[in-house]
Amino acid sequence: MDLTTLAGDDTRGNVVRLCAKAANPVRKDLLEAMGMADAGITTGAVCVYHNLIPYAVEALKGTNIPIAAVSTGFPAGQISLPEKLKEIELSVASGAKEIDIVISRTLVLQSDWKALYDEIAACRKACGEAHMKTILATGEIPTFTKVAKASMVAMMAGSDFIKTSTGKESVNATLPVTLVMVRMIREYLELTGYKVGYKPAGGIAKAKDALNYLILMKEELGHDWLQPDLFRFGASSLLGDIERQLEHYVTGRYSASYRHPMA
């Protein structure tokens, strides 16, 4: 998962605490009980706003955890394309290795697929060596057909990942939308030979919910999409429930959430 903090009241302290949790996501005693103490488990990335990147860079020094930055006028994307490109460039220069962009939903609603392709392709160029995740904000797209077409355009324009949501929409990741998007990933793979990653984000807070997504990925795309280079959860609270489930596995009892270090 990408461990995320994207709130209006984020501070340096929030980010430092999040990075500490990303580097040590499961309590040491639980890992020791499962024989996993030396497995080097971390989260896939830490995702923050652009202005907080320097704090994350400092806090993650000495680890291999990448910093993902939300960009392009996140979450609404209602800024001009030159402003979007400048924001991407500044985030990469500050140390972000992954960029989560948001598309202009207006282009999808108007079925202006050429303009959508041009916008995403320009963002891909601005990312340079950084990986680019393209957020479709599917809760604001009215039909599965438009979700499918937007997914295909995003992949054609060079996205490394396609992502459901910002987490700020009224409806975020759902299994039906996920099925549409991963089948477009499969179709794109069959047409081009390129593997594109997938990231459901928003509303996935329980380990049981996460299992449903893992099963779907395994059945539709195969084992490769159970690895962090092709699959991530966008989550801010999922890790807490996973850690509680692991404690239940080790001890046979559920623990209170306050017994686990905060993310």
Catalytic residues: 100, 163, 199
The amino acid at residue 234 is G
Contact 235, 44 (CB under 8 A): no
What span, in angstroms and rounded, lies between the C-alpha atoms of 229 and 85? 24
CA dihedral of residues 172, 178, 180, 181 (deg, nearest 10): 90
β-bridge partners, 231: 198
Q: Which residues pair with 161 in a beta bridge?
A: 133, 197
Two structure tokens written together for 154: 């995003």
d(CA 175, CA 11): 33
Task: With CA atoms as reference, report the closest residue to 98 among 126, 49, 133, 63.
Answer: 133
Q: Which two tokens stand for residue 234?
A: 């966008």
CA atoms of 88 and 170, how far apart (whole Å): 26
Alpha carbon 154 to its chain centroid, in Å, reads: 15
